[in-house]
A and B are shown apart, each in its own frame.
Chain A
Amino acid sequence: AQKITQTQPGMFVQEKEAVTLDCTYDTSDQSYGLFWYKQPSSGEMIFLIYQGSYDEQNATEGRYSLNFQKARKSANLVISASQLGDSAMYFCAIRIGPAGANSKLTFGKGITLSVRP
């Protein structure tokens, strides 16, 4: 079953502008965690931000924030003041169930973001 959906085609944003990358998820569990990772062209996976299903506030980490809408099952990543170095593939991932030993992540297909100077 498709647990994470990222359907946007390649995204483009002008440097210094904000951009929203969409992610919807599917689970009937009440306890879960949502993660965003960045994968630049060099290939590594860089953790950006985390949102727990019971967290009442939207997560923020510097220029990254997560627009968490639980009823709509969406967890969109917002990048403010885009920089050229933000050009990369962005993956949304979900951990079903509470944090613990079996905390595998299920990833979406990713979204390519290109920042234009």
Chain B
Amino acid sequence: EPEVTQTPSHQVTQMGQEVILRCVPISNHLYFYWYRQILGQKVEFLVSFYNNEISEKSEIFDDQFSVERPDGSNFTLKIRSTKLEDSAMYFCASSYHRSTDTQYFGPGTRLTVL
């Protein structure tokens, strides 16, 4: 069964460093998303992406964040200068626009900023 994959599973970085989180969505999906979950809290929407551009972004998704689909398979989230409060689990999700547009999530990347 097709699934969303994410790498790395765990990333440790120093405050102020740039990180790139990578995702491979399900191959025939058209819509891509990033969410984050701070430990013990609910899942929060960051950004949605369709047709090579951002469809919507939350107030969390400030100028430090960017997304890119550099080729036909990868979808990346870049954090330019990480802060301690960026420590969280980051989930990539994808969907194919049908009647339900169910979003299927990847296993997540746990980002720890020291």
Could you list which residues of chain A lie within 8 angstroms of chain B, going by C-beta atoms? 33, 35, 37, 42-47, 50, 52, 91, 93, 95, 99-110
Most-contacted residue by chain B among A35, A44, A99, A103 (CB, 10 A): A103
A-B contact count, CB below 8 Å? 72
Give every chain B residue within 8 A of A105 (Cβ-Cβ): 33, 35, 43, 45, 103
Give every chain B residue within 8 A of A52 (Cβ-Cβ): 99-100
Is there an interface contact between B31 and A110, defined as CB atoms closer than 8 Å?
Answer: no
Closest to B45 in A: A104
Question: Which range holds the interface residue count of chain B?
Answer: 20 to 34
Could you list which residues of chain B lie within 8 angstroms of chain A, going by C-beta atoms? 31, 33, 35, 41-45, 48, 50-51, 55-56, 58, 89, 91, 93, 95, 97-108, 110
Q: In the assembly, what is the distance between CA of A19 and CA of B44, in Å?
A: 26
Is there an interface contact between A43 and B89, defined as CB atoms closer than 8 Å?
Answer: yes
Give every chain B residue within 8 A of A101 (Cβ-Cβ): 31, 48, 50-51, 55, 97
Can you name 28 A-B residue pairings with CB atoms under 8 Å?
A35-B102, A43-B89, A43-B110, A44-B107, A44-B108, A45-B43, A45-B91, A46-B105, A47-B102, A47-B104, A52-B99, A91-B43, A93-B43, A99-B97, A99-B99, A101-B48, A101-B50, A101-B55, A101-B97, A102-B56, A103-B48, A103-B97, A104-B33, A104-B48, A105-B35, A105-B43, A105-B103, A109-B42
